[in-house]
Amino acid sequence: MIEPGSTSTMTYTVPVQRTVPHLYPESDEFQTVPEVFATGYMVGLLEWACMRHLDETGHVTDEQISVGTDIRVNHTAATLPGQVVTVEVTCTSVDGRVVNWDVTARDERDVITAGTHQRAVLDRARFLGGLHKKATEVGVDPIS
């Protein structure tokens, strides 16, 4: 199980497909921004690092899933395609099914973000059941 104070580090080389113009290719506004690591993808990278930490510590079983419930970060420096981003996550607390982290990411030159992230560990079958019910109620195809 995950313990407060435990840390892990993850690295990621930014491809051009994770830059701002690729976030929403249908957006004319995004097309005017240079090809730098998009904040939306950066947030996903932070979540991925926390998910990986949960998996590596055995905190999430095959019958469970973790979902992001809160993220509070800033994006303070641009990162170019080809640069390596190093993410460090530190578990700050575990309260029942809720796990909290401090998160930091930097490229070779700058700290690009720092803040906090929270994930909830849920029963996978129950979560998927709720999604199927919602899909039926709103008339969209259920997820698999």
Q: Residue 143: its pLDDT value, please? A: 76
Q: Look at residue 75 and give its three-state secondary structure.
A: coil
pLDDT at residue 101 in the model:
98
pLDDT tens digits, 49-99: 999 999 999 999 999 999 999 999 999 999 999 999 999 999 999 999 999
Q: Three-state SS string across 64-126, please?
A: EEEEEEEEEECCCCCCCCCCEEEEEEEEEEEECCEEEEEEEEECCCCEEEEEEEEEEEEEHHH
Question: Is the pLDDT reported for residue 144 higher than 90?
Answer: no
Confidence bin at 142 (pLDDT 50/70/90): confident
Q: How far apart are CA 88 and CA 65, in angstroms?
A: 21
pLDDT of residue 141: 87
pTM: 0.95
Residue tagged active-site, from 22, 39, 57, 88: 39
Look up 29 and say whether it is catalytic: no
Catalytic residue status for 47: yes
> Is 132 marked active-site?
no
The label of the residue with tokens 């059941």 reads: 129
For the chain, the domains span 7-138
Q: For the domain 7-138, what is the CATH code?
A: 3.10.129.10
Q: Do residues 121 and 60 make contact, with C-beta atoms less than 8 angstroms apart?
A: yes
Strand bridging mode 84-95 / 111-123: unpaired
